[in-house]
Structure 1
Amino acid sequence: MNIMLHIGLGSFHRAHQAVYVHRLRETGERSWAIVGGNSRPDMDETMSALIAQDGQYTLETVTPGGVRAYETITAIERVIPYAPDLADLIDVGADADTRIVSFTVTEAGYYLDAQDRLDLSAKDLAADLEAARAGGPGGMSGGTTGSTIYAVLTAILRARMLSGAGPLTLLNCDNLRHNGDRSRSGLMQFIALLGDEALSRWVEANTCCPNAMVDRITPRPTPDVAERVKAATGWADGAPVMAESFIQWVIEDRFVAGRPAWEKVGVEMVASVQPYEEAKIRVLNASHSCIAWAGTLAGMRYIHEGMQHPAIRGFAHAYVTDDVMPCLDRPEQPSPIDLAAYRDIVFDRFGNPAIRDTNQRVAMDGFSKIPGFIRPTLIERLSRGEPIASTAMLPALFLAYLQRWHRGQIAYTYQDQGMDAAAAHAMCDAADPVAAFCADTMLWGPIAGDPRLVAAMRTATGRVAHFVNGGNPMV
């Protein structure tokens, strides 16, 4: 049996990658299975339920027309309970039968700055480095392995090197742009900071990190999901997950130790994931954030409510049509994707009222999403002397959202792993919040403080204020 070890058994993995493995196994090709666990002590109830259910759970999907379907997913053959030393997780990663280690991480969880250097000011990362150094070549000290993806992968790869288990593919399943290349860079920096030259050489020679693009809207499950599952199937599932009916996975076909025949169940195995990745991140991910920030400012709870609001839909439509599409489809480099059709499909998906995806979930991590999802379009447009008014609306919405958070007026808890809370409060308290916001190098990189960015943000901020006050934002 070939094993794919997945780190991060959250809703998205169980509604996406695990589904593809399950469907391949359903065709009769059962030579691959998933073993999964978490590197942090979270999701206790879900993990306990998955263990009790031998890794099985129900996936509920719903179409834009509201048609629901239910499927029992059986791809996860073993769920590893969390332990601080992650010993069982590491043992599976070091097993010769494990050919792929995959992981789902938030953008902020990679701790990479604008130059893809590790942000050593991040407390979790610094703690893991200190513990790994104290542990010496054998690993971490104090009975823990650490929780950052770099600490976990380093421990697995060191154990694998020492056991002679052979090559391994490291596969990202998340929204980080150029995720395989960039996570590999962060991993090699982490190992270099440990001074473990032998491990560094082994990783260079025995691993690969293909870039990948994933797409499926997967809200956090609410109690009514379990109620519908029981009504439809008769099973009191303790770990159900729900998602939209749309699903997509595009992977660069670079694997050093074999892979499942995913192309048989709809995965797009390609030479380069870049055009698909750029379209998804700029069209879907950035627009999603736009709708969540604007919807929150308008007092809404769900994404589909924002899509029904003409002004909010207009913000997202103008951003994609005016600025993103001309960047991604140019005469010298045409896109393989019909971007207008893709935009319309994405907006239809956002408008699905049955998904009930919350603004809270989508609005999180703005300090990572602006540089990851929005800044590239601004840089490209400015480099060509092109206007950025439509794109500037997105960070202007986030600034207004941040100012609400600063005043304690967001109706839910805002989570942002990449945010320095003190610096964000200082930004909002500044005499000129727009200038302070635009000067932040983490957000803006090479265009921080650019007068054209500041000017566009001032105009956009005025339009946002008009929108929030109930006026016409197009004026």
Structure 2
Amino acid sequence: MNVILHLGLGSFHRAHQAVYLHELQKTGDRRWSLAGGNTRPDMAETIATLQAQGGAYTLETISPAGVHRYERITAISQVIPHTPDLAGLIRQGASADTKIISFTVTEAGYYLDAYNRLDLTTFAELRADLEAVKAGQPGPTIYAALTAILRARRAAGAGPVTLLNCDNLRHNGDRSRGGLLQFIELVGDTELLAWVQAHTSSPNAMVDRITPRPTPDVRERVLAATGVDDPAALMGESFSQWVIEEHFVAGRPAWETVGVQMVDSVDAFEEAKIRLLNATHSCIAWAGTLINRLYIHEGTQHPVIRQFAHDYVTDDVIPVLDTPEHPCPIDLPRYRDVVLERFSNPAICDTNQRVAMDGFSKIPGFIAPTIRQRLARGESIDSVGVLPALFLAYLQRWHAGLLPYTYQDQAMDPAVANAMCEAADPVLAFCSDVPLWGELAGDARLVKAVRRAGERVQRFVTSSTWVPTVPA
């Protein structure tokens, strides 16, 4: 049997990629199986539960209409326990049966700067892993883990393998591959570098399914509905999408038979998702937090926040993604409306805390591209300017210790963020940060737009008296 080794058995993988293979196996096509584990010692209880349950778990999906559906997902045939030396992952990755190594990583977990170079200056963990790999040891970062696995695979003569991203990094296959090759080059392993270039591929892919962190009530609903007490149960929305470029070097499952879109280029789908969904998601999370809301659906139902999101997409994103020269194959207004409907679903109870994280990666990855394109065309950035203004206001709340939850941002240097907030002109300091803005840093048009949008954000915060609907 062919094996997909997945690094990162978090909620998203188990609600998305594993489900597609499960659906394929249900058709009778059992030529592929999943093995997976984590490169870090996190999720210990969930991993132990999955091991005890033979990799099986229950997925609850909820539609915007409130329809609940429950299914036992059985695609994961091997759960690999974490050890500091990553021995189990390396062993499976070096097996000739493994044809795909897939992974789910946050945007910040790729450690790339605005120019797609490894940022060794900012990230001490990356520097530490680089030194560890030079000394022949593995490490928890995606590059260190892949380098250790691919070294073993090359030594075993196990043949070519596809490296497949399942995350929100724009151009994820190209950019993660670039980071990996840079890492191996810095390690100084020229033979491995040549082998990886010749024997691996890295398709770009777009993934989409809202998957909140599991809460105890998910387990309770699963028990009530199915009679199964499953500590590894999780919940996601009913919507799911996976678009992958047809660029595999060692075969792949027949995913197209269960709804995966196999395409020559993922660019249009990726840009629509990142800008219309991911950036809008962050907009709503930052804005909702500023008026003390807990959940994404509460912010989406707020008329001003919904207008912020709608105007951002309508005024500034759609005009640059759908042009006479480059027409978009996607109905973007319809996609916008579906996204807002999904975010309004009260049954999902997705938290602002989860969505608001990693703003220092999301500004350059999700938002700055629209600003660059609009400015290059000599057009207004008033609507998209609201998003960085919201994040700056959110950052100032964090700086003052007034957020109602812990903010997590792997790409943020707290000293730099605090200095922005303490500057005589926080807007100018924020808009002059090169890691956030690249060549736009300090651009007078950006500063002016964010300053003007900041006034709108302040009026919104001080005037908000909206009371959210309590979910049934």
Instruction: Normalising by structure 1, report the TM-score.
Output: 0.97
Cα drift, residue 100 of structure 1:
0.1
Does residue 86 (structure 1) correspond to residue 79 (structure 2)? The answer is no
Q: Which amino acid aligns with 2:439?
A: P
Q: In the alignment, which residue of structure 2 is the partner of 1:236? A: 229
Q: In the alignment, which residue of structure 2 is the partner of 1:95? A: 95
Q: In the alignment, which residue of structure 1 is the partner of 2:306? A: 313
Cα drift, residue 238 of structure 1:
1.5
Residues 118-167 of structure 1, C-alpha deviation per residue, up to 9 Å, x if partnerless?
A: 0002011000001111x2xxx21xxxx11100000000110000000000
Q: In the alignment, which residue of structure 2 is the partner of 1:49? A: 49
Find 1:267's aligned residue among 226, 242, 260.
260
Gaps of 5+ in 1: none
SS at match of 2:158: coil
The whole-number CA distance in structure 1 between the counterparts of 2:295 and 2:464 is: 22
Cα distance change on mapping 1:452 and 1:162 into 2, 3 Å:
same
The whole-number CA distance in structure 2 between the counterparts of 1:471 and 1:263 is: 47
Cα distance change on mapping 1:197 and 1:279 into 2, 3 Å:
same
The whole-number CA distance in structure 1 between the counterparts of 2:275 and 2:148 is: 34
Find 1:281's aligned residue among 274, 279, 286.
274
SS at match of 1:325: helix
Q: In the alignment, which residue of structure 1 is the partner of 2:205? A: 212
SS at match of 2:435: helix
The whole-number CA distance in structure 2 between the counterparts of 1:49 and 1:196 is: 38
Cα drift, residue 471 of structure 1:
6.2
Q: In the alignment, which residue of structure 1 is the partner of 2:125? A: 124
The whole-number CA distance in structure 1 between the counterparts of 2:148 and 2:234 is: 30
Q: In the alignment, which residue of structure 1 is the partner of 2:113? A: 113
Q: In the alignment, which residue of structure 2 is the partner of 1:33? A: 33
The whole-number CA distance in structure 1 between the counterparts of 2:431 and 2:445 is: 10
Does residue 347 (structure 1) correspond to residue 340 (structure 2)? The answer is yes
The whole-number CA distance in structure 2 between the counterparts of 1:110 and 1:381 is: 27
The whole-number CA distance in structure 1 between the counterparts of 2:464 and 2:118 is: 43
The whole-number CA distance in structure 2 between the counterparts of 1:339 and 1:322 is: 12
SS at match of 1:389: coil
Q: In the alignment, which residue of structure 2 is the partner of 1:74? A: 74
Q: Which amino acid aligns with 2:111?
A: Y
Q: In the alignment, which residue of structure 2 is the partner of 1:15? A: 15
Residues 5-58 of structure 1, C-alpha deviation per residue, up to 9 Å, x if partnerless?
A: 000000000000000000000000001000000000100111110010010000
Residues 394-424 of structure 1, C-alpha deviation per residue, up to 9 Å, x if partnerless?
A: 0000000000000000000000000000110
Residues 406-460 of structure 1, C-alpha deviation per residue, up to 9 Å, x if partnerless?
A: 0000000000000000110011000000000000001001100000000001100
Within a 5 Å distance, the mapping from 1:287-298 to structure 2 comes to: 287-298=280-291
Q: Which amino acid aligns with 2:346?
A: P
The whole-number CA distance in structure 2 between the counterparts of 1:338 and 1:185 is: 32
Question: Could you tell me whether the CA contact under 8 Å between 2:133 and 2:148 is conserved in 1?
Answer: no
SS at match of 2:463: coil
Cα drift, residue 293 of structure 1:
0.1
Q: In the alignment, which residue of structure 1 is the partner of 2:447? A: 454
Residues 263-312 of structure 1, C-alpha deviation per residue, up to 9 Å, x if partnerless?
A: 00000000000000000000000000000000000110000001110000
Q: In the alignment, which residue of structure 1 is the partner of 2:239? A: 246
The whole-number CA distance in structure 2 between the counterparts of 1:398 and 1:264 is: 41
SS at match of 1:469: helix
SS at match of 1:411: coil
Does residue 256 (structure 1) correspond to residue 257 (structure 2)? The answer is no
Find 1:183's aligned residue among 176, 179, 183.
176
The whole-number CA distance in structure 1 between the counterparts of 2:44 and 2:178 is: 32
Q: In the alignment, which residue of structure 1 is the partner of 2:296? A: 303
Work out the percentage of aligned pairs sharing the same amino acid.
69
Q: In the alignment, which residue of structure 1 is the partner of 2:470? A: none
The whole-number CA distance in structure 1 between the counterparts of 2:69 and 2:125 is: 40
Query: Cα RMSD (Å) of the superposition?
Result: 0.7
Q: In the alignment, which residue of structure 1 is the partner of 2:3? A: 3
The whole-number CA distance in structure 2 between the counterparts of 1:132 and 1:47 is: 26
The whole-number CA distance in structure 2 between the counterparts of 1:114 and 1:369 is: 11
Does residue 161 (structure 1) correspond to residue 143 (structure 2)? The answer is no
SS at match of 2:18: helix
Q: In the alignment, which residue of structure 1 is the partner of 2:469? A: none
Aligned residues: 464
The whole-number CA distance in structure 1 between the counterparts of 2:345 and 2:461 is: 24
SS at match of 2:3: strand
Find 2:218's aligned residue among 217, 225, 229.
225
The whole-number CA distance in structure 2 between the counterparts of 1:372 and 1:387 is: 20
SS at match of 2:314: helix
Gaps of 5+ in 2: 466-472
